[in-house]
């Protein structure tokens, strides 16, 4: 794991700020500023994977029983999964209250 962004000095940056560590976007926890989260009704889920396919942040993961749910560390709460789910088993719930 590379250093957190706020600890990197200018001397440690590669020329052109080229990122040489693969997949380090994982360190950037985009779920921290979400206003709504998707909640899946697992019993209704038909395990088709449409939400997984459409998620722009690739944060949908497969649960052990085969249904899909969002990894809330990265989910920005855009609601695309809820909109695309063919059986309507995903509901967006406000993070407030």
Partner 1 sequence: MATQRKGIEVSIAMADAVAQANVDVIAAYPITPQTHIVEHLSEIVANGELDAEYVPVESEHSAMSVCCGSSAVGARTFTSTSSQGLALMAEIFYIAASMRLPMVMALANRSLSGPLSIWNDHTDTMMVRDAGWIHIFVENGQECYDNVFCGFRISEDPDIMLPLAINLDGFILTHMIEPVIYEDNETIRKYLPDVRMKNALHPDNPVSMGCFAMPEIYTEAQMSREHGVRNSYPTIVKAWQEWGDLTGRYYKPVETYRADDADYCIVTMGSYGETAMEVVDALREEGEKVGVVKIRLWRPFPFDDFRKAVLGKKSLIVIDRAISFGGPGGPVATELRSALYGKPGAPTIVNYVAGLAGRDVSRNDFKNIILEGKAKAEKGETDGFTLYGLRG
CB nearer to partner 1: give 22 or 86. Answer: 22
The yes or no reply on residue 56 touching partner 1 (CB under 8 A) is no
Query: Residue 80, SS3?
Result: helix
Distance CA 68, CA 65 (A): 9
Query: Residue 37, SS3?
Result: strand
Give the other-Cβ count within 10 Å of 85's Cβ. 22
List the x/- string, 10-49, binding to partner 1 by CB under 8 A.
Answer: xx-xxxxxxxx-x---------------------------
Q: Which positions lie near partner 1, rule CB under 8 A?
A: 5-6, 8-11, 13-20, 22
């Amino acid at each position: 794991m590379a250093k957190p962004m706020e600890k990197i000095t200018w001397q440690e940056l590669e020329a052109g700020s080229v990122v040489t560590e693969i997949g380090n976007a994982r360190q950037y926890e985009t779920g921290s500023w979400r206003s709504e989260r998707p909640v899946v009704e697992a019993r209704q889920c038909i395990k088709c994977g449409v939400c997984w396919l459409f998620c722009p942040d690739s944060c949908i993961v497969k649960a052990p029983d085969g249904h899909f749910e969002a990894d809330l560390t990265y989910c920005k709460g855009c609601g695309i999964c809820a909109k695309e789910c063919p059986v309507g088993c995903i509901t967006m719930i406000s993070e407030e209250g």
